[in-house]
Structure formats: structure tokens, C-alpha cells
Amino acid sequence: MTRYLAHPFDDDKLKEECGVFGVIGVPDAANFVALGLHALQHRGQEAGGIVAYDEREGFNNARRFGYIRDNFTKADVMQMLPGSLAIGHVRYSTAGSKGHTAIRDVQPFFGEFSMGGAAIAHNGNLTNAAALRRDLIDRGAIFQSSSDSECIIHLMAHSIHKSLAERIKDALRAVEGAFSVIAMTRTKLIGVRDPLGVRPLVLGRIGEDGYVLSSETCALDIIGAEFVREIEPGEMVVIAKGQVASSRPFNPAKSRFCIFEHVYFSRPDSILGGRSVYETRRQIGVELARESPVEADLVCPVPDSGTPAAIGFAAESGIPYGMGIIRNQYMGRTFIEPTEQIRNMGVRLKLNVNRALIKDKRVILVDDSVVRGTTSRKIKDMILDAGAAEVHFRIASPPTAWPCFYGVDTPDRDKLLAATMSEDEMRDWIGVDSLKFISLDGLYRAAGEAKGRDASCPQYCDACFSGEYPVAPSDQIAKGFTMKAAE
Amino acid sequence: MTRYLAHPFDDDKLKEECGVFGVIGVPDAANFVALGLHALQHRGQEAGGIVAYDEREGFNNARRFGYIRDNFTKADVMQMLPGSLAIGHVRYSTAGSKGHTAIRDVQPFFGEFSMGGAAIAHNGNLTNAAALRRDLIDRGAIFQSSSDSECIIHLMAHSIHKSLAERIKDALRAVEGAFSVIAMTRTKLIGVRDPLGVRPLVLGRIGEDGYVLSSETCALDIIGAEFVREIEPGEMVVIAKGQVASSRPFNPAKSRFCIFEHVYFSRPDSILGGRSVYETRRQIGVELARESPVEADLVCPVPDSGTPAAIGFAAESGIPYGMGIIRNQYMGRTFIEPTEQIRNMGVRLKLNVNRALIKDKRVILVDDSVVRGTTSRKIKDMILDAGAAEVHFRIASPPTAWPCFYGVDTPDRDKLLAATMSEDEMRDWIGVDSLKFISLDGLYRAAGEAKGRDASCPQYCDACFSGEYPVAPSDQIAKGFTMKAAE
Amino acid sequence: MTRYLAHPFDDDKLKEECGVFGVIGVPDAANFVALGLHALQHRGQEAGGIVAYDEREGFNNARRFGYIRDNFTKADVMQMLPGSLAIGHVRYSTAGSKGHTAIRDVQPFFGEFSMGGAAIAHNGNLTNAAALRRDLIDRGAIFQSSSDSECIIHLMAHSIHKSLAERIKDALRAVEGAFSVIAMTRTKLIGVRDPLGVRPLVLGRIGEDGYVLSSETCALDIIGAEFVREIEPGEMVVIAKGQVASSRPFNPAKSRFCIFEHVYFSRPDSILGGRSVYETRRQIGVELARESPVEADLVCPVPDSGTPAAIGFAAESGIPYGMGIIRNQYMGRTFIEPTEQIRNMGVRLKLNVNRALIKDKRVILVDDSVVRGTTSRKIKDMILDAGAAEVHFRIASPPTAWPCFYGVDTPDRDKLLAATMSEDEMRDWIGVDSLKFISLDGLYRAAGEAKGRDASCPQYCDACFSGEYPVAPSDQIAKGFTMKAAE
Amino acid sequence: MTRYLAHPFDDDKLKEECGVFGVIGVPDAANFVALGLHALQHRGQEAGGIVAYDEREGFNNARRFGYIRDNFTKADVMQMLPGSLAIGHVRYSTAGSKGHTAIRDVQPFFGEFSMGGAAIAHNGNLTNAAALRRDLIDRGAIFQSSSDSECIIHLMAHSIHKSLAERIKDALRAVEGAFSVIAMTRTKLIGVRDPLGVRPLVLGRIGEDGYVLSSETCALDIIGAEFVREIEPGEMVVIAKGQVASSRPFNPAKSRFCIFEHVYFSRPDSILGGRSVYETRRQIGVELARESPVEADLVCPVPDSGTPAAIGFAAESGIPYGMGIIRNQYMGRTFIEPTEQIRNMGVRLKLNVNRALIKDKRVILVDDSVVRGTTSRKIKDMILDAGAAEVHFRIASPPTAWPCFYGVDTPDRDKLLAATMSEDEMRDWIGVDSLKFISLDGLYRAAGEAKGRDASCPQYCDACFSGEYPVAPSDQIAKGFTMKAAE
């Protein structure tokens, strides 16, 4: 019944909703999954779950609220998860019903079928889940959770196919939206990415015959696994007995990977689409310095997500780089039942200005994005209170003007600052001397597209900036969401 | 009964043992103390305590294991701590008896005297506590804890003075070693610093009539208090009804502030002795680049403590600065009851190499210190595994060759790498292409002493580097510790 | 992950597996359900659950391990269960898979249907659940639990009927075995008893328009409800808007109420079939004294279940009644993670002999039943150690020789002492001077059947004594259970 | 911070405040202490503590809120308490400051002295503790708790004697009031009873060389120890290496054992002063039936404390004995944070009337005592609601008109019904057909004093009935308590 308060600060960020990880072919696979999920914790901090299969003990699962490191490192929990095949999931809480997640919403989801059990973990969001759920209930399904992802296991249950791998295909052909799914049966580890490949999923190798599936490469590093390749958009891999079998269950489509993974979601030490996230972010800073230069004394990151772009901006501009804002290292993600006074402290609990460095300087602050803008305002106040002469904001993404329906928690459109204001209005509202966003083309260039964005057929999903949704969000449209008018 | 495992990584750092914070003259003072302690959490993460005094409710206290943010932000805890006068303490666990702290060891300590109650919180370490304890027990004292600091409250109890402030003076005149003490009676907030001023203590102002005492200035910032001045070495301040009365209870002595506070313990956004910690650290990097230059492609901090020196090194050397090592943001300080496998993961749980950036580069790693050297070796392994062409370590402090007895948790002397090896031997043992420490003079210069260290009468306590102990560690000598032979 | 150890002592009793309770038409119905379940706690101690429906808040549920009084009395739990309609369940843990129940096995079970949600709570056991489960999985059902009762909610989901009440009928027509079911929709409270009426279910009235369904009448008393009548075997009642509608969904059958409810399961202050349980038990003692008299100095109950029969025995025989065995009042049902030494203490943790009373006396011990016989032996040892001259056991039920498949946790047949030994062999094995069980006819007489048992068509289900199962235990037979040969 | 609510029902009983238990000369002595304390749980339910001494591990202690069986049966707790010498304590919460006990108030208390450590556990109450505490604070003592018993350890610390046993003598000579103390040093188990012997303390033997000290004999039974004898009033025993040395440190006085231990506090299976508690209680019933007979149909105990007297009353009067009131077995002592509705349920949560038995009968209810009288009234209401024709209360103790200051929690005098009303007024206020208390002489006869009470020099302490306090309650008198005027 405990109420958690999300960071006042984090409330002004877009949040990835999930990370997935699976291992086959190593003893005590759940231990590896726990480590992998720990490395993916930035993709979801509210809760985590692991399902493991052991020939003698069968399927076992554990679900816990809180960080992986606080739960899935305990011997008594891990002993309950024996076996050489396991998958796991970390979850961010959507601002859902009554503001809290029930433990039954925590993945992986498990189902018993006549041919044996199967578990699935899903990163992404199904855009037709509400309609599917209605139909499944009409056919006799009893839902355990309020999660869109549970549809997949019920679709599997109602498939007429004999093999579980076929049932997974069947189920995923019926869903729309973004999904990187990891599944397991008693003998197989399975990975699938939606036809557009919106969310990441990579394949790694460990030990003699072991294989790993992970949302990001940084989670391969922590367990010492070798990065093999990305699962391709629209690809399904079935791994068993040291063999990886690949197939293409969906109609072919042009890849539309989420560009915000490069900007903010993924960890800087991951490789996405063959490209270093850190390098892309540093290059965004370089592009920003070219597009929107300004005379100043100091380039400061808003820690920690603005750091690589700030390094790039400083290097390109020749303006010294410095830590003008210091982050409290002991700030967790949430406060439990905070007092009113604590609630009002906001960003101060997390950040402090390095007054001695800032005083009398013209400061360029580099941040990753502006969502509601409330945090930008507070940071500006702190910087000015500390005696800065000027404050210039440089933002490592274009204005965020549209919600994401593919697995990212975004405020309603009318809460997005960029949906209601021009760049100049935003500058005045935040109260800084200048405010500049990187251009969409600049972002594409930083992400390795030398010619920038291909407007007729964009190389990435950039719906949150452009309003161009590669998959129609049908549940949302049914609830009244208005898409951008065709131009 | 839960066993905590300190970070395998943190195990290779010196640890500050305490932070103290007190407020008088504001409503709900305990809330401010909680925030101040949160900002001082880097000085002690194992446990925290707060004592508050309210005219109607009297003295109340709460002690908890774990972070301040997890305990002292809850309404039900804070409601138990009413009043406009409160003090608090964060504590690091010394590698003490049976490896764990009892809750009764958590400060502040409270005593009831015939003239009313008093509580004290102590940062530092008493070098004659063992002897004092024996004597106090002989006189009838019943000790509650195994803490050296408890002596102070018993010395107060046995003082013949009538006023509590006089009793505190009396008690502190009997102790030797390093102490920054914050105390409270029903009406007074009291601060005292030992004659050498080894540990920091600052005075701040808040609201109309409110005053604050804090280990560091960064904790004034979080509550919006104004920095007034440092409590001077050997000074005692008694604050009541909006008035600050200063006195000098001890024989005068030359100040010997701990130079390691500049190097590592204090937060970079604090001001110590009128000097920005961040700026001192950045300047250490500059000095290091001058003293020990090397050709390379990249300057990388070992996060997070090496960052300011790395920025300085990069700026001075002209070699690009980059984040070659990425820190896991969701790494807490401890694992509860970890499995064997987790225990063996070590530094990997916390750090990952940014492979794409490191590959084929000659890398300069800037770290704050080398204690046992075990972590340096592991980091070197990670960097080489990622394909670095060369690895050069630059250390922002001189070789740590002597234990500290003034409130810092140091390994026994024979566990200190620099106590048993020369710089070249250390380089070979760690296995890097070069290893250089800043000189003692360079460090003093970076800390603002233009002429370097005054060997006849050093401006700082640097016993951990020099073996010159400004206060004889008499308990340790009684137990067999051999001091450096006079030269 | 905590392991509970059932009482060494309770291990030698048959255990009722469930109690059910529901209320409609009163504000904060869940509070009444909590009280009712507290009064039914003897029917299941491992876990409890409540589902409540409120027009604004919809369906809410809470499930907890442990006693009702420890969980469902807390304001924070009860606030989550608003509304004027609620049902609940207490559960005894079957010695099931891995010796522990998952929280997902705790009832009531809830399902969302196209016409709205429904919850059910089940007392009894379905004898064809394994077969039903297989068929339902083949039709696409995803089971959440390992409970036989979950079949009912899936059968409802697959029904073609439009109304939930009809779907419940449909589901219960498909199941075999013993069931007293309480269900709720958004507007209705529903109660059903299987055609034989093996488990109890009563109707009560509270306040203006409120109605109650409960396993026993004692739970009506605690909330001040008036006892209206029993739900009849094979009857279904649908209660809405202060009206009770009765129907008969099943083929008619002769009632076969469980006679062991009279002997042990139900509380002595309940009324079953129009008869006081206390009075039946006292009368069993009277019959026993007539059937198996013995010269002695003292009649002692084995507390607490043997007490009413001991009172009857003493009254009939004229031998003084006394408390020769004292029960520890602070003995809960379980120990959490006990040490080996505690584990071996057995019955001593719970009972102590009143030595001063027992010494040199010829003692008649009256107990309710003999299951494995291990406890009887230990009690005999304690009585003899205390100096009793003779020990005579009188048992308030016939020899328990057959397992129950209708909702009672019984050991396998070969663990039942009476299945493998004659009465004389049991006497010798237990080691007492005499051992006598009440006859089956005597038991029926005590239960109000003046002519005793009607062998051609018994008035009760007495399968545990007679081996005559009124419903074939088909799942068990499929697993190899051999029924008694027809005579 | 959790708030516990004492039973509404228990609120109307006098409460023993402590039980003590110690063992020497057996391996894993703490396990035996845990079992002994479990058997003494009726003497204190709020918290318990154990101190154990092991040659290698030294002194260890554990203190926990809640029942012994919930805390001191866990392997992880008991492993922390190795050694062959241990003592323990169960504590009832006095209605003290802010209604809750701090964990630091939980005994045994431990002190480190120059000659080694010692721990003490105290049953009773010191009547001059407030004065002693003031004096000790003046001499430099720092108190850890608000408990009167802590004075003993500080008195020991200030003793000039060399041996700990001598220091205990010294300390106990300075205190006034009632005390049965168990103490331990590294090698000795020590037991002392105050000169009047107000509280019980017995000596037992276990194994080869093992000895036990316990508040009651029932706790010897649970560990299979043999009852040797009572520690005599004013006696001190020092047990070491299998030898028991006895001495008499105090001035001789006539014994004044607490008669309420016979009436209610002690367990019925204990032996006090050579007399069975059960037998005394049964005999009280016999005396009551002789003193205050009445025509009726049924004798009912108020469970469970009225049961033996009811058995005696029924036997003497010839009126049938029956269980007219049924106790809920799953009622713990407390509710945690109950809802308002639960709070108002009062006695109904614990007791239910056996309506079928009571209806139309003239009922004699036998209860142990009347304190505030509130529960008697509620029980009468329940009995009349169930249709009883007449209700007659017979009370197994004289009217309780004076508070106890010797270790029993009593309401203030003006809350005691018998302090403000005559017997007839009480009968009318409770609302029963008749109300009779046993006479003081009758009680003494039942306790084995054939000639009744010796008014010039009573054989027992009966201050709660007579107002004759054998030790002047000096702290209370200082606070304004008025003793009974001499007649």
C-alpha cells in the first residue's frame, strides 16, 4: 500500500518503459539475467521479474518491486530460480490506474499450455491492445493484469498451432505497435522484433554453447558475453541446443528505429545500429555548437544525460568544459511517503550548483531534452541564484511536441511545452538568455545519416518530434487522439 | 541479522566516517536536518540519526540503517521529531567488531543530566578513547555502544560543572584527536572544532533567526541557508535565541586541516578554507599534467571522483577529454546477502567501459587515489579488454602510505600498496604503461599554497601521505602501532 | 521465501481447507467480511483474501498470508476495499507442491467478463478439477494458480450465457465434488451449495436491507447478523437490492452433509442443520461413556477440541472433570524458520501436563479423533511422565480410515493409523490401558439421528470413517486411488 | 512507528509485567531460554530479550517486540546467541510514556565493568527507582532506558566491590520494592528474591550439570528440567560449575508472596509455594459456592482464566458445568493499526456466546476478577442477548480496590470499580441478578491457609484487595498517592 513519489525531477523526462534480457545454455541462468537486468535498470526502475526453467524444478518465477540489485541479488531469491534457461524484465511504472502498479502487472508473463509452459517479456507498446483484450475476453480469456503485453500470452493460448514457437508467431502477427519480445519454453529461448524494429534487441554469446538476448549491448558486457549482432527488424530467432534459427514471420517493412534511444534512453556505452550511443551524443553536441553557437565562458552539462553532448559542444566551440552542476550520488529514484516539505524541494534534492565555478560566468547549459520545461526553469533559477552572468540552454534533441505510443511514457500532448509554444516563447517562459534545440536534420547527421533526414521515408521513428507515426495508434485514436494533419 | 556487503569497489577507497548537521530557530528543524544529512550522505552511508527537541514533546530521536532519503523522508518518522532545534549524524561503518554496526552505535548520543538532556554528534576520531573508556568504566559509567564518541557524553556526565555548555568544554578538553562536534541542549545549538581543525565545520544562517552548523557548505545550499563562515580550529560557538557566542576553550595551536578532504572526501561543490573543492581538484589535474605529461589520445576520469582532475588534466595537456568508463547509475552502496556469483562480479557491477571510444586509443586514466590497488588493476583489465592501445594512470594524490587515525577508515598499513612498494613497483603490479602520483608539493600548490608544503610546519594534516601525525595516536601506539622514525 | 512449519501437533489433525463469507447492502462491507473471516479462522489459517466492489472505485482485492486479524484490520488495507458488497475467503494450505502456497493461489478469484467482473470464493474440493483444467487449457485458458477452484472462473468465462448468474450455474453444473460457493458481481451476492450439501453455507440478515452468506453461524454472531436459514443442498440464492431469489440448478439428490463438521471442523458455537455443534459434541461424550465405560478418577479433555465431549463423558459417568492438560495460549499456528531444537519439541510447545492434578490418578483422556496417532502417543508419554496411574483414551469419532476428497486435508491412506491397525493394535501402539472410539451409530445418535445410521442411505457423508464416497473421486481414481470394495 | 492497540478486553485485566528465565551448563543455552520464555509468555507479551555468553563470542544479545515464538525461534536470531549460559526476559508494556515501549527498554540490561560484563533481568517493581535514578544521574550515570530496573545495573557500576556477585548484592540492598532478579556474568548464573518474596522464582536442574532459574515451574516442564525448589524470600543463589551457593544478603523479614499470582497471573500448571495453582483456583470455586450459593441451571467460566474456579463451583454446587462462552482461538493480543470499526468491536472479537446452551437458562458466570467492570458489563449483555433467564456473577477474588506497585500494571485507583462502589452498587452498575466476590478469608483458605487470613501479619501480599502495602511505595507517595488510613 506504500505510495511512492516519482522524482519531481524525473517527472520532467520521457521514460523508457522496459528492458528485457534472456539467457540459455549456462548454469544458474537467472544469475546472469539478474546482472543483465541490473545493467538495463535505466530502462525501468519500478519493478523486475525473472522466470527460470529447470528440468527437475520446472518453471519458477519471482517478481519484485524496486531495483534489481535490492532483490535479485539475494541468495534466498536466486535459489528459487534454478536452471540453465531464464528470461527477465525491468519495468517502468506508467502513470496508470491509481498511479501504482500491482505486482501482477510485473513481467515476464507465464502461461501453461497443453504442450508445456511458456513465458514472455515485452519491451514496447501494443497500439491495438485494448481492442484485442475485448475480443479475447469475449472468447473466454481471464486477464490477470492491466498490461497490454498480457494479450500476447492469451493470443498464444488461443492459437491453433501445436508448437509454442508457432503460437508466438501467430500471436505477434495479431498485434500492432512496437515490440521486442523475449520468450522461453522448456527448451527454447526466442527473440522477436516488430517489423519496424522500433525497440532494440541484440544477440550475444556466452561460454561454450550459451546465448543471450538483450535490449542493449551494455548488458552483454556486464556478464562478459560477446556481442554477435542485432536481431533485425521483423526477425524471429529460436535458440536451442546451441543453435540459432532465424525466420521472418512478418511482412517486410522499412526499418524505423526509435531515434530517442540514441538521444536519451539507451546507455552511452551501448552500440545501437552499429553506432556508439556515446559518440552520437557527443556528435549532437558538435552539431549544436555549429548550428547555434554563442559566446560564453563555460559549457556545463545538466548531469548526467547532457554530459556527452556538452563534451562535444565544448570541444567544437573551444569554450572550457566544467561541472557547474553537481549531482547528489545518493539520490534514488523515489521517496517513500515523503513529507510535504520534502515534496516541495524538487530538483534541489538531486542537483546543486557549483557556485564557485558558476559565479560571474556566461554559462552554456547542455541538456538532452525539454519535456514540460519545469525542470529547465528550476535549473535556470539555481544557476542565476549562484551568480551566473548569462544562461544559454542548448538542447540535444528537437522540440518534443508529440506523445510516444510505442513504449515510452510521455505526458499528454497539452503538457508538452513544445506542443504549445514556439522556440522563442519557450525561451521567455523558461527565462534564459537563449534557448536552442538541435534541428531534426542535425540530429540525423549526428546519428550517422550524412545527408540528414529523408523526409519522404525517414530512417528513424521520430514521431515525438515530427508527429509522423509509422504505426497508427488505433487504441488512442479510438479514445480521441488527433493525429497531425497531413501537410 | 542481515549482512551487508560493502562494494567490492568501495573497499578500495578511504572512507570518511561521518557527517554532522544541526539547526536551531526554524519550525520542524528535523526536516532541515534530514535534508542537510542527505547532502552529506557521501560522508557516511551506513546509518543516520536525528535528535530533535520540542518544548512540549521533549527530546525525541530516530536512528535508522540505510540512506537518509529512505528513512528520514517518511512522514511517520518525521512526525516523531517535532521542534525547532535538531541535530543529526550520518555514519560510515568502520570495519569494526564482527563487521557490522549495532543500531546503538548510531549517533547522535543522548544523555539525561540533572540540568536536562543533551545530545552530541561527532565527526572525527578520538585517539585516546580506549584509555578514557577504561577510566570511565572504573568510575561507574555504563557504555551503550562501541563508539569512541560515546566517551564525550560520559565525560560530560562526570563533569562537576553546572551548565551543559561548560560540561561539553570539560569533556572535549579531556579528549585527544580530531573532532568537529555538534551538540544540543533544550535551548542551545553548540559547535566545537578541535584545536587543529582537522575536520570541517561551517556556520550558516537561515530565515530570520535560524542558524545552521554543518560539516560542509553543500548542505547549506540544499536548505537555502546562507554560508556565514567556518567555525575556526579550537573555536566553540553556542547559539541561542538568534545569538552566536564564540569562545576558545583550548590551548592555541596551528591549524592542520585534513588535505584529503580536498582530494576526495568533501563534495566538489563545497567550499573548504575559502577554497572551492572542485577548483582544487581541477587544479590538481593541471599540476599533474605539468608534473607527469604523457602522449596520448584521450583523458578519461575514473568516475566520479576523478572527474574534476581529469578535466584539468585535459585542459592543461590539450588531449581530448572523454567518458571512457560509464558508471551504472542504479548501483547502491551495498548488496544485501549476495550470491557468490554476484560477490565475484566486483567492479563490473558498477562500471563499464565505453568500448567504442576506448578502442585503439592511448588512454590516460585519472583517479583520485590508490589504496590497495586492487581496483586499479581491475579497471586496467577492463580498459585493455576493450582494446586500448596504452593505459596511463595519473593519480590526484600522493601515494597513500600511512593509516589515518582522525576519523577515516583506512586499511592496516600493510594493506596499503604504497606502504610496501615503490612507484615503479606499483606500476608493474597494476600492469599499466605508466603510473604517476601528484607530488606532495604539487598537491599543496593545487590547494592554494603557492610555495608548496612548508616542511617545518605543514599547513595541512597529510599524515596519510607523509606519516607525520600532528596528534600522537596514543590508543594505537598502546596496541603496537609504530610511527615513522624521525628523520 | 520464508518457510513456515506447520505445528508438529496440528500435523496430526484433519484440516478443513476453507471458510467463505460475503455481505451485501451495508456500507464498508469489507469490514464485515474481515470480521466474519476472523470468526471463521479455524477453517483456514494460512491466508485470506477479500474482494470488494464500489461503484466509483470498481473491484478491489487484497490477499495476504497469515491471520485475518493481522492483515485485514489495518486501516491502510481496508481503505483499499471500499463498497457495500464484498466477499472473502480463508484458506488452509494443502500439503501441496513444495509445501507452500503462492499468493496467487489465495481466493477469491476474480475474472473480467464482457458483461463485467465477478469474483468467487469456494469451500470444498472439486473431484474432477484435473480433467477440467486440461480441457480448459486446450480451449485457451491461462491458469493463474494451482487451485482446483480456479476452474470455476474459467468455466464461467467459456459459458455462452449472457448473465453472470447463468454463467455461474453453467460452471457449477460442470464440476463434481463438494462446493459451497459465494460469488459476487457488481450488483449481486450469490451463494450455491452442491447437490449433496457436503459443506455448510448459511444465510443471515443485517441492518435494513443487508444480507450475509457464511460458512457457519458463529460468523453471523460476530457482526450482529441474524441467522435466517441454511442454504439448502443444491440451492442457489441470488441476492440483490434487498431481495433473495432462490433456484435449484442441479438434479435433486439426497443430502449428505459432512459429519466431521460436527465432530471437529465447525466451531462449537455454530448451529449446523438446526443442531448445536457444542451439544452434539457433548452428547458424543455421553454416548461414549455409555458405550465404553471405565473406572477412573478423572476425565480430562485434550484441549481444546476434546472439551465438550469430555464434559459430556464426565456428566454421564459421574467421574470428576478436570484440566489435566494445559494449553499454551501464545502458541500460534506456525513457527517461522525454526531451529532444529525447536522443531523437535513437538507437542510440548503447545501443551503441558498439570502434574499436581494427574499424579497417581486413573485418567480418562477425551480427544476428538486419531489420525496418524503420533500425537496421542506423545500425550500419553506426558501423562505417564507426570505420574498417572492409568491412561484411558476415549475418542469422539470412529476410526479415521479413509482420506477425504471433499475439501479436507487428509494424509494418504497408508498414513492413517486406523487404515492399517485394529482398535487393539492401535491401543498397543499408542501404549495406553484402553482405547475406545465411538461407534458410527453412536455418532449418528449424538448428531440427532435417534435410530443411528441408515446403512442403505446414510444421512451424512462419513466417507472418512466408512469408505463410502457419495461422489466418485474421479481425479484420484485416475491417479490410482482404490476405493473400498463393495460388500 | 506502528501503533498497537491492546485488547479492549485485556484492558480490563491486571497485567503481570514480567517473566524471567536463565540457564547455565547446557550447550546452546539460549534455545532453552527461548522455550522457557515461551512458557512464561503469559507474564509479558509485548517484547522479549535474551543475553547469552560464549567464551569465544563473548556476550551477545537480541531484543524483539512481539511474541517469543515469532522471534526467538528463528535460526538466524538464535545463531547470534551461542554459549552455555543465557538469561532472558518477557515484558508487558506498562501504560507508559506515549503508550509505547522503546526497544531500549527491553531487558535484560547489560553493563560492561572493569571485571567483565554482566546482564540482569528483573521481575517486579522498584518503589524507590525515581529517587535512585536522580541520585545516579547526579553521580554521572547515563541512563539508556526509562525502566526502573536499569537502576540496578548503574548501582552495580558504582559499587566499590571487586566481584560482580558482590556488586549485585550491593545494588539490591539499595533498592526497595519487589524483585525477583536473574543475573549472569561470564561464569555465573545468579538469582535473587526480595526479602518479602513478592514475585516467584524457582530453581530447576537439567542434564548433568545444568541449572535453571525461572519465574514459574511450568517453564521447567517445557525444557524437561526437574523442579528442585523455590528460591526463598531474601535468598541469593550463585550457580557456577554445577554448584549452587546460597546466601542471605538482606535483613530477615516475613514472607509476603503475591496472592494474585494464585488468582490470575501464574499459569494453572505451575506450583507456587508448594501448592498447585490449578488446585487453588478450583478450591476458590468450591469456597465461592459455599459462601455465595445460588439456584441456577448452568455454571459457565469466563474463558480462560475463570475455568478452574467454575469447575470447582460446579462440583461443589452440583449444578452442571458447560461452555456458555466460546473463545476465538485466533485472537492474538493486539491489533496493528485497527480501523475505527474494529476498535469498537471490543470483546466480540474474542468471545462469542454459545446461544443454544444459554437460552432460557439461569446462568452462573465465574470470572477471576473485576477491575474496571467494563468487560463484565459487555459479557452480561451478550449473555442476555442470547436469551439467558438470569445472570449471576461469581468472582474468584475479593474486590480489587487498590493499585499494585510491585510489578503489576493496575489502573489508577479511581478507575477501579471496587474503589468507588459497594458490592451492591457494582451489581447494579454491571446489571446482573447477583454479584458475589470471594471473601479475603475464603481466598486464603483456598490458598491453603486453613484458618484464613492472619490479620495481624498476613501470610500474603494482598495490597490490591486490602490496601495494606508491605513496602511503602515511596516514589508514588512523593507523587501524591494517599495510602489507606490506619484503622
Tell whether D262 is within 8 A of chain B (Cβ): no
Chain A: give the shortest CA distance to residue C240, in Å.
25
pLDDT of B101: 58
Residue D6: per-residue pLDDT: 34
Q: How far apart are CA D429 and CA D399, in angstroms?
A: 15
DSSP state of D105: G
**8 A C-beta contact, residue D347 and residue D379:** yes
Pick from A112, A134, A140: CB nearest C139: A140
**In whole angstroms, what separates CA D132 from the centre of its chain?**
24
- Provide the pLDDT for residue C76: 83
CA pair distance A356, B274, nearest whole angstrom: 10
C464 annotated ligand binder: yes
Rg (CA), chain A: 23
The answer to whether ipTM exceeds 0.85 is yes
Closest CA to A130 of A153, A160, A150: A150
Q: Which residues of B touch A315 (CB under 8 A)?
A: 320-321
- The three-point CA angle D408-D411-D416 to 5° equals 115
Q: What is the mean pLDDT of chain B?
A: 91
Q: Which three cell numbers stand for residue B313?
A: 588534466
pLDDT digits (tens, 9 = 90+) for B81-114: 999 999 999 998 653 333 455 788 899 999 999 9
Residue A241: C-alpha distances to residues A169, A181, A190, B368 (Å): 21, 20, 12, 47
Residue ranges for the known binding site of A for Mg(2+) are 305, 367-368
In this complex, is the C-beta atom of D481 within 8 Å of any C-beta atom belonging to chain B? no
Cell of B257: 586541516
Orientation of helix D129-138 relative to helix D150-157, angle to 10°: 40
Can you give the pLDDT at residue A341?
65
Q: Does C108 touch chain A (CB under 8 A)?
A: no
- Cα separation, A194 vs B343, in Å, equals 37
C93 known ligand binder = no
Q: Judge whether C368 and C264 are in contact, CB under 8 Å.
A: yes
Q: Which segments of chain A have a pLDDT < 50? A: 1-9, 95-99
Please indicate whether, in this complex, the C-beta atoms of A323 and B278 are within 8 angstroms of each other: yes
Over chain B (487 residues), the average pLDDT of each successive run of 10 is 36 79 96 95 93 95 90 88 97 53 86 94 96 95 92 96 95 96 98 98 96 98 96 98 97 95 95 96 98 98 95 98 92 58 73 95 97 93 96 98 92 92 97 98 97 96 97 93 82
Nearest to D142 among B1, B77, B154 (CB): B154
Q: Are B51 and B59 in contact (CB under 8 A)?
A: yes
Distance of residue D222 Cα from the nearest chain C Cα, in angstroms: 6
Q: Which chains touch A (3 or more CB pairs under 8 A)?
A: B, C
The pTM of the full predicted model, rounded to 2 decimals, is 0.88
**pLDDT above 90: residue D419:** yes
Q: How do the domains of chain A map onto residue ranges?
A: 15-256, 275-469
Looking at the partner chain, which of C282, C323, C339 has a beta carbon nearest the beta carbon of D308? Answer: C323
pLDDT in tens, C155-209: 999 999 999 999 999 999 999 999 999 999 999 999 999 999 999 999 999 999 9
Q: A388: Cβ–Cβ under 8 A, 6 or more apart, which residues?
A: A358, A359, A360, A361, A362, A363
Residue among C77, C134, C141 whose CB faces A140 most closely = C141
Indicate the SS3 state at residue B253: coil
Is residue B144 less than 8 Å (CB to CB) from chain D? yes
Measured N-to-C along each axis, helices C129-138 and C150-157 cross at an angle, to the nearest 10 degrees, of 40
Are the Cβ atoms of A137 and C114 closer than 8 angstroms? yes
What percent of chain B is helix, strand and coil (3-state, nearest 5)? 30, 25, 40
Contacts of B337 in chain A (CB under 8 A): 73-76
Interface test with B, best of A354, A359, A360, A385 (most B CBs within 10 A): A354
> What pLDDT digit, counting tens, does each position of A21-76 carry?
999 999 999 999 999 999 999 999 889 999 999 999 999 999 998 889 889 988 88
pLDDT digits (tens, 9 = 90+) for A212-224: 999 999 999 999 9
CB contact under 8 A, A74 and B355: no
pLDDT digits (tens, 9 = 90+) for D426-461: 999 999 999 999 999 999 999 999 999 999 999 999
CATH architecture of A15-256: 4-Layer Sandwich (3.60)
State the Cα–Cα distance between residues B156 and B151, nearest whole angstrom: 9
The CATH fold assigned to A275-469 is Rossmann fold (3.40.50)
List CB contacts (< 8 A) between D142 and chain B: 111-112, 141-142, 144, 153-154, 157
Q: Going by beta carbons, is chain A in contact with chain C, meaning 3 or more pairs sit under 8 Å apart?
A: yes
Question: Any idea what DSSP says for residue A334?
Answer: E
Shortest distance between the Cα of C163 and any Cα of chain A, in A, equals 13
Candidate from C104, C140, C153 with C-beta closest to A139 = C140
User: What cell was used for B395?
Assistant: 593519480
Binding residues of A for [4Fe-4S] cluster: 258, 404, 461, 464
Altogether, the residues listed in chain A come to a count of: 487
The closest of D376, D372, D446, D445 to D412, measured between CA atoms, is D372
Helices B307-317 and B277-291, interaxial angle, to 10°? 50
CATH topology identical between D15-256 and D275-469: no
- Measured CA to CA, the distance from residue C10 to residue B4 in angstroms comes to 37
| pLDDT tens sequence across B49-91 | 999 999 999 999 999 988 898 899 888 889 999 999 999 999 9
**Nearest CA of chain B to the CA of A110: how many Å?**
26
State whether A35 and B349 contact (CB < 8 Å). yes
Reduced to 3 states, what is the DSSP secondary structure of residue A415? helix
Task: Judge whether C18 counts as a catalytic residue.
Answer: yes
Chains A and D touch (3+ CB pairs under 8 A): no
CB A164 within 8 A of CB A156: yes
Q: Which of residues 296-355 of D touch C (CB under 8 A)?
A: 304, 307-308, 311, 315, 320-323, 326, 328-332, 335-339, 341-342, 345, 348-349, 352-355
Q: Report the b/e string of B128-156 with b at 16+ CB within 10 A.
A: bbbebbebbbeebbbbbbebbbbbbbbbb
What is the residue type of B14? Answer: L
**Which residues face B245 on adjacent strands?**
B238
**D111 in contact with B at a CB cutoff of 8 Å?**
yes
Chains with 3+ CB–CB pairs under 8 A to B are A, D
| Residue D223, pLDDT above cutoff 90 | yes
User: For chain D, how big is the Rg over CA atoms in Å?
Assistant: 23
Contacts of B112 in chain D (CB under 8 A): 137, 142-143
* Interior angle at CA B39, CA B37 and CA B43, nearest 5: 70
- Residue A303 CB neighbours (<10 A): 18
Query: Could you tell me the CA-to-CA distances from D314 to C129, C232, D280, D283, D297 in Å, in that order?
Result: 52, 40, 15, 11, 10
B258 assigned binding-site residue: yes
Choose the closest CB to C339 out of D73, D267, D345: D73
pLDDT > 90 in chain D, percent: 82
Closest residue in D to B74 (Cα) is D1
A134 contacts A163 by C-beta, under 8 angstroms: no
For cell 451478550, the residue is D382
- pLDDT for residue C337: 52
> Nearest chain A Cα to C3, which residue?
A76
Closest CA relative to residue B250, chosen from B194, B198, B199: B194
Q: Which helix (H) or strand (E) holds A138?
A: helix A129-138
Could you write out the DSSP letters of every residue in D386-403? TT-SEEEEEESS----S-
Output the CA–CA distances (angstroms, integers) from residue A310 to A271, A320, A325, B98, in the order listed.
Answer: 20, 10, 12, 46
Q: How far apart are the first and last CA of chain B?
A: 49
- CB of B334 within 8 A of CB of B306? no
- Nearest-CA distance from C471 to chain D in Å? 33
Whether residue C282 lies within 8 A of chain A, CB to CB, comes out as no
Helix, strand, coil shares, percent, chain A, to 5: 30, 25, 40
Residues B285-309 pLDDT 10s = 999 999 999 999 999 999 989 999 9
Taking only Cα atoms into account, the Rg of chain C, rounded to an integer number of angstroms, comes to 23
